[in-house]
Amino acid sequence: MKSIFTLMIAAVLITACGNSEQTYKQPELINNNELTDIQWIDSTRDLGKVNEGQMVEVVFRFKNTGKKPLVIRGVHPGCGCTVANPPAEPIAPGAEGEIKATFNSKGRPGINHKEIDVDANTNGTQNHKVSFNVEVIPQTQQQ
């Protein structure tokens, strides 16, 4: 009886811990007729050097080159040190929009490469990546 209980506990732990990676499932589009096109003006940014502890703002610009309104359905930073915000409203055909993000450099000394996944109602792929690089100068080296 004791060994059966031990095996059951082991099986539960293996099952619960076996898939520790979070998987992100992209939302389904309701209607393919609502797809449009996006052109990234700034998909990669180099922010240079900043002092550790600074909050660094970065903006990624894009243009709706399609014929339907462009809806940024979600933005998903790669880690908790970055917070990103999609535009509040759809971007009209021919118009430009921005995704604004803030990077917290506290506890991140050295070179940092951060990515943000962007979900949009676009032809081809609905998942895009934007990224930035920044070198954080540790507090001990600041003058």
Dist CA 65 CA 69 (whole Å): 10
Confidence (pTM): 0.77
The pLDDT tens digits of the residues spanning 3-43 come to 554 444 444 333 333 333 333 444 554 578 899 999 999 99
Helix (H) or strand (E) holding 44: strand 44-51
- Residue 103, CA distances (Å) to 1, 54, 111, 114 in order: 54, 8, 13, 9
Residues 6+ apart with CB under 8 A from 37: 64, 65, 66, 122, 123
Q: Which two tokens stand for residue 58?
A: 């970065």
